[in-house]
Chains A and B, each alone.
Chain A
Amino acid sequence: MSTVSAQSGGDDPPEPNPDVKSRQVREPDYRFTLANERTFLAWMRTALALLAGGVAVLYLVPLDWGGPVRLLVGLCLTILALVVACWAPLRWTRVQRAMRREEPLPTSLLPLFTTVALAGVILVVLVGPLL
Protein backbone atom coordinates (compact mmCIF):
# COMPACT_ATOMS: atom_id res chain seq x y z
CA MET A 1 0.00 0.00 0.00
CA SER A 2 2.67 2.45 1.06
CA THR A 3 4.93 1.51 -1.88
CA VAL A 4 2.11 2.12 -4.35
CA SER A 5 1.40 5.61 -3.00
CA ALA A 6 5.10 6.37 -2.95
CA GLN A 7 5.45 5.36 -6.60
CA SER A 8 2.43 7.26 -7.88
CA GLY A 9 3.54 10.40 -6.06
CA GLY A 10 1.57 13.60 -6.73
CA ASP A 11 -1.77 14.18 -8.39
CA ASP A 12 -0.85 12.67 -11.77
CA PRO A 13 -2.55 9.42 -12.65
CA PRO A 14 -0.20 6.48 -12.14
CA GLU A 15 0.81 6.18 -15.78
CA PRO A 16 4.25 4.88 -16.80
CA ASN A 17 6.08 7.60 -18.70
CA PRO A 18 7.17 5.75 -21.86
CA ASP A 19 3.63 4.54 -22.36
CA VAL A 20 2.28 8.09 -22.21
CA LYS A 21 4.82 9.19 -24.80
CA SER A 22 3.97 6.40 -27.23
CA ARG A 23 0.27 7.14 -26.84
CA GLN A 24 0.69 10.70 -27.99
CA VAL A 25 1.18 9.87 -31.69
CA ARG A 26 -0.36 6.42 -31.92
CA GLU A 27 -2.63 5.56 -34.82
CA PRO A 28 -6.21 5.51 -33.59
CA ASP A 29 -8.42 2.43 -33.62
CA TYR A 30 -9.03 1.62 -37.28
CA ARG A 31 -12.79 1.82 -36.71
CA PHE A 32 -12.50 5.48 -35.74
CA THR A 33 -10.36 6.23 -38.80
CA LEU A 34 -12.90 4.51 -41.04
CA ALA A 35 -15.75 6.40 -39.36
CA ASN A 36 -13.91 9.66 -40.04
CA GLU A 37 -13.48 8.61 -43.68
CA ARG A 38 -17.20 7.85 -44.01
CA THR A 39 -18.07 11.22 -42.50
CA PHE A 40 -15.83 12.89 -45.05
CA LEU A 41 -17.54 10.97 -47.85
CA ALA A 42 -20.95 12.00 -46.52
CA TRP A 43 -19.83 15.63 -46.75
CA MET A 44 -18.65 14.99 -50.31
CA ARG A 45 -22.08 13.65 -51.21
CA THR A 46 -23.64 16.70 -49.55
CA ALA A 47 -21.50 18.90 -51.79
CA LEU A 48 -22.52 16.85 -54.84
CA ALA A 49 -26.20 17.14 -53.93
CA LEU A 50 -25.86 20.92 -53.60
CA LEU A 51 -24.09 20.99 -56.96
CA ALA A 52 -26.88 18.94 -58.52
CA GLY A 53 -29.37 21.43 -57.09
CA GLY A 54 -27.39 24.32 -58.52
CA VAL A 55 -27.23 22.76 -62.00
CA ALA A 56 -30.94 21.92 -61.85
CA VAL A 57 -31.95 25.47 -60.92
CA LEU A 58 -29.60 27.06 -63.44
CA TYR A 59 -30.32 24.85 -66.43
CA LEU A 60 -32.71 21.95 -66.05
CA VAL A 61 -35.92 22.80 -64.25
CA PRO A 62 -38.39 25.03 -66.07
CA LEU A 63 -39.06 27.77 -63.53
CA ASP A 64 -41.18 30.88 -63.79
CA TRP A 65 -38.72 32.83 -61.70
CA GLY A 66 -37.07 35.95 -62.92
CA GLY A 67 -33.58 35.53 -64.36
CA PRO A 68 -31.77 37.20 -61.43
CA VAL A 69 -33.45 35.06 -58.75
CA ARG A 70 -32.71 31.91 -60.69
CA LEU A 71 -29.10 32.96 -61.18
CA LEU A 72 -28.74 33.93 -57.51
CA VAL A 73 -30.12 30.64 -56.17
CA GLY A 74 -28.12 28.54 -58.64
CA LEU A 75 -24.88 30.38 -57.95
CA CYS A 76 -25.39 30.26 -54.17
CA LEU A 77 -25.94 26.51 -54.27
CA THR A 78 -22.87 26.00 -56.46
CA ILE A 79 -20.66 28.19 -54.29
CA LEU A 80 -21.96 26.46 -51.15
CA ALA A 81 -21.04 23.12 -52.74
CA LEU A 82 -17.55 24.45 -53.46
CA VAL A 83 -17.08 25.61 -49.85
CA VAL A 84 -18.22 22.25 -48.47
CA ALA A 85 -15.98 20.35 -50.90
CA CYS A 86 -12.94 22.44 -49.90
CA TRP A 87 -13.69 22.35 -46.19
CA ALA A 88 -14.38 18.62 -45.81
CA PRO A 89 -10.79 17.37 -46.35
CA LEU A 90 -9.48 19.98 -43.89
CA ARG A 91 -11.93 18.70 -41.31
CA TRP A 92 -10.96 15.10 -42.05
CA THR A 93 -7.28 15.97 -41.52
CA ARG A 94 -7.95 17.84 -38.28
CA VAL A 95 -10.04 15.04 -36.81
CA GLN A 96 -7.46 12.46 -37.86
CA ARG A 97 -4.65 14.45 -36.24
CA ALA A 98 -6.60 14.92 -33.03
CA MET A 99 -7.35 11.20 -32.81
CA ARG A 100 -3.67 10.36 -33.32
CA ARG A 101 -2.70 12.63 -30.44
CA GLU A 102 -5.63 11.44 -28.34
CA GLU A 103 -6.90 14.97 -28.06
CA PRO A 104 -10.57 15.97 -27.91
CA LEU A 105 -12.11 16.10 -31.37
CA PRO A 106 -12.12 19.61 -32.80
CA THR A 107 -15.49 21.23 -33.31
CA SER A 108 -16.09 22.66 -36.72
CA LEU A 109 -18.21 25.49 -38.04
CA LEU A 110 -18.96 23.51 -41.20
CA PRO A 111 -22.37 22.12 -40.08
CA LEU A 112 -23.46 25.51 -38.75
CA PHE A 113 -22.25 27.28 -41.87
CA THR A 114 -24.07 24.82 -44.13
CA THR A 115 -27.27 25.14 -42.12
CA VAL A 116 -27.29 28.94 -42.15
CA ALA A 117 -26.35 29.16 -45.82
CA LEU A 118 -29.02 26.66 -46.82
CA ALA A 119 -31.61 28.51 -44.74
CA GLY A 120 -30.66 31.67 -46.64
CA VAL A 121 -31.06 29.90 -49.99
CA ILE A 122 -34.46 28.53 -48.93
CA LEU A 123 -35.53 32.02 -47.90
CA VAL A 124 -34.58 33.37 -51.33
CA VAL A 125 -36.47 30.49 -52.98
CA LEU A 126 -39.57 31.33 -50.94
CA VAL A 127 -39.45 35.11 -51.18
CA GLY A 128 -37.51 35.74 -54.38
CA PRO A 129 -40.18 34.82 -56.95
CA LEU A 130 -42.69 37.09 -55.17
CA LEU A 131 -40.55 40.19 -55.60
Chain B
Amino acid sequence: MSGSRAGGEDPGLQAERTLLSWQRTVASLVVVAALYLRDPGVLVVAGTHRQVDGRLLVVGLLLAAAGVLIAVLRVRWRRTRHGVLDHRTGAPPAPLAPPWLIVAVSGIVVGLGVAVLADVGLGWTGVPP
Protein backbone atom coordinates (compact mmCIF):
# COMPACT_ATOMS: atom_id res chain seq x y z
CA MET B 1 0.00 0.00 0.00
CA SER B 2 2.65 2.49 1.04
CA GLY B 3 4.87 1.11 -1.73
CA SER B 4 2.33 1.86 -4.45
CA ARG B 5 1.85 5.29 -2.96
CA ALA B 6 5.58 5.94 -3.05
CA GLY B 7 5.60 4.88 -6.71
CA GLY B 8 2.78 7.30 -7.41
CA GLU B 9 4.46 10.36 -6.02
CA ASP B 10 5.94 13.10 -8.12
CA PRO B 11 8.87 14.69 -6.29
CA GLY B 12 9.27 18.30 -7.27
CA LEU B 13 5.88 18.28 -9.03
CA GLN B 14 7.62 17.80 -12.36
CA ALA B 15 4.50 16.76 -14.23
CA GLU B 16 2.44 19.61 -12.84
CA ARG B 17 5.12 22.14 -13.74
CA THR B 18 5.15 20.75 -17.25
CA LEU B 19 1.36 21.03 -17.48
CA LEU B 20 1.57 24.66 -16.36
CA SER B 21 4.26 25.22 -18.96
CA TRP B 22 1.89 23.91 -21.62
CA GLN B 23 -0.86 26.18 -20.35
CA ARG B 24 1.41 29.22 -20.48
CA THR B 25 2.35 28.33 -24.03
CA VAL B 26 -1.27 27.97 -25.16
CA ALA B 27 -2.14 31.26 -23.42
CA SER B 28 0.70 32.98 -25.29
CA LEU B 29 -0.57 31.44 -28.50
CA VAL B 30 -4.04 32.89 -27.96
CA VAL B 31 -2.61 36.32 -27.11
CA VAL B 32 -0.47 36.40 -30.24
CA ALA B 33 -3.47 35.27 -32.29
CA ALA B 34 -5.42 38.20 -30.88
CA LEU B 35 -2.57 40.57 -31.77
CA TYR B 36 -2.51 39.12 -35.27
CA LEU B 37 -6.27 39.72 -35.61
CA ARG B 38 -5.50 43.19 -34.23
CA ASP B 39 -8.66 45.12 -35.04
CA PRO B 40 -11.61 43.90 -33.01
CA GLY B 41 -13.83 46.66 -34.37
CA VAL B 42 -13.66 45.17 -37.83
CA LEU B 43 -15.19 41.96 -36.56
CA VAL B 44 -18.57 43.68 -36.56
CA VAL B 45 -18.46 44.05 -40.29
CA ALA B 46 -16.82 40.69 -40.89
CA GLY B 47 -17.97 39.27 -44.16
CA THR B 48 -17.55 42.54 -45.99
CA HIS B 49 -13.78 42.64 -45.73
CA ARG B 50 -11.87 39.98 -47.58
CA GLN B 51 -8.69 40.80 -45.66
CA VAL B 52 -10.31 40.38 -42.29
CA ASP B 53 -11.94 37.16 -43.42
CA GLY B 54 -8.49 35.75 -44.22
CA ARG B 55 -7.23 36.64 -40.78
CA LEU B 56 -10.39 35.40 -39.11
CA LEU B 57 -9.92 32.05 -40.85
CA VAL B 58 -6.31 31.81 -39.61
CA VAL B 59 -7.27 32.74 -36.06
CA GLY B 60 -10.25 30.38 -36.11
CA LEU B 61 -8.03 27.47 -37.20
CA LEU B 62 -5.49 28.43 -34.57
CA LEU B 63 -8.03 28.56 -31.77
CA ALA B 64 -9.45 25.21 -32.87
CA ALA B 65 -5.95 23.72 -32.80
CA ALA B 66 -5.34 25.22 -29.35
CA GLY B 67 -8.64 23.69 -28.20
CA VAL B 68 -7.61 20.24 -29.45
CA LEU B 69 -4.24 20.68 -27.76
CA ILE B 70 -5.79 21.50 -24.40
CA ALA B 71 -8.32 18.67 -24.74
CA VAL B 72 -5.62 16.08 -25.48
CA LEU B 73 -3.58 17.31 -22.52
CA ARG B 74 -6.59 17.22 -20.19
CA VAL B 75 -7.53 13.67 -21.19
CA ARG B 76 -3.97 12.46 -20.75
CA TRP B 77 -3.65 14.31 -17.45
CA ARG B 78 -6.75 12.57 -16.06
CA ARG B 79 -5.79 9.19 -17.46
CA THR B 80 -2.41 9.36 -15.76
CA ARG B 81 -3.93 10.32 -12.38
CA HIS B 82 -2.77 13.91 -12.64
CA GLY B 83 0.54 13.12 -14.21
CA VAL B 84 1.54 10.46 -11.72
CA LEU B 85 1.17 7.10 -13.44
CA ASP B 86 0.89 6.09 -17.08
CA HIS B 87 -0.72 2.65 -17.10
CA ARG B 88 0.95 1.63 -20.33
CA THR B 89 4.48 2.13 -19.03
CA GLY B 90 3.93 1.87 -15.28
CA ALA B 91 5.89 5.10 -14.88
CA PRO B 92 4.93 8.77 -14.78
CA PRO B 93 3.99 10.05 -18.25
CA ALA B 94 7.10 11.37 -19.96
CA PRO B 95 6.83 13.35 -22.09
CA LEU B 96 3.62 14.74 -20.62
CA ALA B 97 2.18 15.39 -24.07
CA PRO B 98 2.38 12.74 -26.80
CA PRO B 99 5.34 13.48 -29.11
CA TRP B 100 3.06 14.31 -32.06
CA LEU B 101 1.64 17.15 -30.01
CA ILE B 102 5.13 18.59 -29.57
CA VAL B 103 5.59 18.62 -33.33
CA ALA B 104 2.06 19.96 -33.76
CA VAL B 105 2.53 22.96 -31.48
CA SER B 106 5.68 23.86 -33.39
CA GLY B 107 3.67 23.57 -36.61
CA ILE B 108 0.97 25.86 -35.24
CA VAL B 109 3.53 28.57 -34.37
CA VAL B 110 5.19 28.19 -37.76
CA GLY B 111 1.77 28.47 -39.43
CA LEU B 112 1.03 31.72 -37.60
CA GLY B 113 4.45 33.10 -38.58
CA VAL B 114 3.86 32.20 -42.22
CA ALA B 115 0.45 33.88 -42.02
CA VAL B 116 2.09 37.08 -40.75
CA LEU B 117 4.62 36.95 -43.59
CA ALA B 118 1.84 36.30 -46.11
CA ASP B 119 -0.06 39.25 -44.67
CA VAL B 120 2.91 41.49 -45.42
CA GLY B 121 3.63 39.90 -48.79
CA LEU B 122 0.07 40.15 -50.05
CA GLY B 123 -0.29 43.61 -48.55
CA TRP B 124 -3.63 42.61 -47.09
CA THR B 125 -4.02 45.44 -44.62
CA GLY B 126 -2.29 47.30 -41.87
CA VAL B 127 0.94 48.75 -43.23
CA PRO B 128 0.06 52.28 -44.28
CA PRO B 129 0.66 52.68 -48.00
Contact = CB atoms under 8 A, between A and B. Distances in A.
Interface of A: 27, 30-31, 33-38, 40-42, 44-45, 47-49, 51-52, 54-56, 58-60, 67, 70-71, 74-75, 78-79, 81-82, 85-86, 88-89, 92
Nearest to B95: A37
Residue from A34, A42, A44, A60 having most chain B Cβ neighbours under 10 A = A34
B123 to A, nearest CB: 11
Contacts of A78: 113, 116-117, 120
A37 B102 contact: yes
B95 A36 contact: yes
B29 interface: yes
A52 B31 contact: yes
Give the bracket for the number of chain B residues in contact with chain A: 35 or more
Contacts of A37: 18, 21, 94-97, 102
B109 A85 contact: yes
Given A55-B38, A59-B38, A60-B35, A44 B120 contact: no
A41 B24 contact: yes
Contact of B102 (A42, A70, A75, A92): A92
A58 B32 contact: no
